[in-house]
Amino acid sequence: MAVAALLAAGAVFASTSAGAAPALPGTPTLPGAPTLPGAAACPVFPADNVWNTDISKLPVDPHSTAWLHSMHASTAFLHPDFGPNDGGYPYGIPYAVVTSAHKTVQVKFRYASESNRVPYPLGPDTPIEGGKNAPSDTDRHALIVNKTTCTLYELWQARYSANGSTAGSGAVWNLRSDALRPAGWTSADAAGLPILPGLLNFAQIQAAVRAGKPIKHAIRFTADSSAAAYIWPARHQAGSGSIAKLPPMGARFRLKTSFNVASFCRSSQPNCADAKAVLVEMQHYGLILADNGSDWYFQGAAYPQWPDALVSLLKQIPAKSFVAVNESCLMVNRNSGQARAKPGCPIG
């Protein structure tokens, strides 16, 4: 699929689930809102949410050079934090789609004061990042979407047990709402942001390429060092140091529009069209700093599993081809993820 076709189209990617529930009466999916494979009736936040906003025309942030330097962008390449794992659980963050019929449980939280203490549809069938036997000191994220109510549940260091389930923290979102978490609250992520809307999904990419329609959401990524600060739409920080030198949680980066997507790979190469679709997404929707971790690691869903050829191509994206953008001008309300263009603050 030609890159020009990807750029010109404006619709959402298609769901690959044949069994998705119909839209609930009175709560239609907004036109242009991304949907989730497996839960096509649910938007992954409204179309006007900052996660789903084209930031290709926003001004470069004045701290861009310093933030890139702190992440060693001149010599680094992006690293897909997902893909096949020979003999082990696939790399990436899995998610489950359930209905309201799924049993819910109470979860005991380590950080209860900043967690949503409601029943979670967590069970022995819930996929855990790294697999059921992942070490206790790893993230062990569990992401669950109730497609009946379009509610997103996310847990960090989740452990299900019939005798009492536990997690480090937990957060709940209405996928039809732009509401953010309370200021200062963490989530299953250090930035207090949801994880699911920032995950790449291989089925999503394939559908976008088949239809010639762009992937329309930002991608979650990590940095080794972050500032002791967060900026909209983030709600929490876990860093140290000055924002003048280090990126804060919520910082948005995009691939330069001058980057030559067309020549990135040969069309005869396996998964070249898929890689170009991701590059176009990075030019228009970019990356959001969501957690501390290795520099320039960006996240994707564990399933469906990723082909090695595509993962290898995505490892060739140079970090020096990114800039930080200032999206603060898009903010409508500090407690909402709604984004709106205004004079001097264009949406692509």
Tens of pLDDT along 157-197? 999 999 999 999 999 999 999 999 999 999 999 999 999 99
From CA 197, how far away is CA 12, in angstroms rounded? 14
Q: Is residue 95 part of a domain?
A: no
Q: How far is CA 171 from CA 113, 221, 299, 319, in A?
A: 11, 19, 19, 31
Radius of gyration of the chain (CA): 19
SS3 category, 7: helix
Q: Would you give the DSSP letter of residue 299?
A: -
The range of the structural domain enclosing residue 77 comes to: 3-90+193-330
Asked, for residue 61, whether it belongs to a domain, the answer is yes
CA-to-CA distance for 87 and 184, rounded, in angstroms?
40
pLDDT one-digit tens code per residue, 229-279: 999 999 999 999 999 999 999 999 999 999 999 999 999 999 999 999 999
Question: Could you tell me if 261 and 6 are in contact, meaning their C-beta atoms sit under 8 angstroms apart?
Answer: no
Mean pLDDT confidence for 320-325: 98
Q: How many domains are there within the chain?
A: 1
Q: Which residue has the higher pLDDT, 218 or 14?
A: 218
- Residue 280 counted as domain residue: yes
Q: Do the domain assignments include residue 103? A: no
Distance CA 73, CA 69 (A): 6
Residue 31 has pLDDT above 90, yes or no: no
Rounded Cα gap, residues 48 and 29, in angstroms: 12
Closest CA to 143 of 209, 220, 207, 84: 220
Report the phi/psi class of residue 291: left, alpha or beta, with left for phi > 0 and alpha for psi in -120 to 50: beta
What is the spatial distance between Cα 244 and Cα 259, in angstroms, rounded to a whole number?
26
Residue 2 has pLDDT above 50, yes or no: no
Does residue 302 surpass a pLDDT of 90?
yes
Q: Please determine, for residue 20, whether its predicted confidence score (pLDDT) is greater than 60.
A: no
pLDDT score recorded for residue 111? 97
pLDDT attached to residue 116: 98
Is residue 323, in this structure, part of any structural domain at all?
A: yes
Q: How much is the pLDDT for 11?
A: 25
pLDDT band (50, 70, 90) for residue 33: confident
- As beta bridge partners, residue 325 has 60, 252
Q: How confident is the model at residue 36 (pLDDT cuts 50, 70, 90)?
A: confident
* Residue 218 CB-half CA count within 13 A: 29
Assess if residue 73 is contained within a domain.
Answer: yes
Inform me whether the pLDDT recorded for 87 exceeds 90: no
Q: What are the pLDDT digits (tens) for 91-117?
A: 999 999 999 999 999 999 999 999 999
- Could you give the percent of the chain with pLDDT greater than 90? 88
Q: Answer yes or no: is 96 within a domain.
A: no
Q: What are phi and psi of 110, to 5 degrees?
A: -70, -40
Look over the chain and give the mean of its residue pLDDT values, rounded to a whole number: 91
Place of tokens 């997507």: 261
Q: Give pLDDT, residue 300.
A: 98
What is the rounded CA–CA span in Å between residue 222 and residue 21? 34
Give the mean model confidence (pLDDT) for residues 327-348. Answer: 96
Question: Residues of the chain with pLDDT > 70: what percent?
Answer: 91
Report yes or no on 7 lying in a domain: yes
- Mean pLDDT for the stretch of residues 288-313: 97
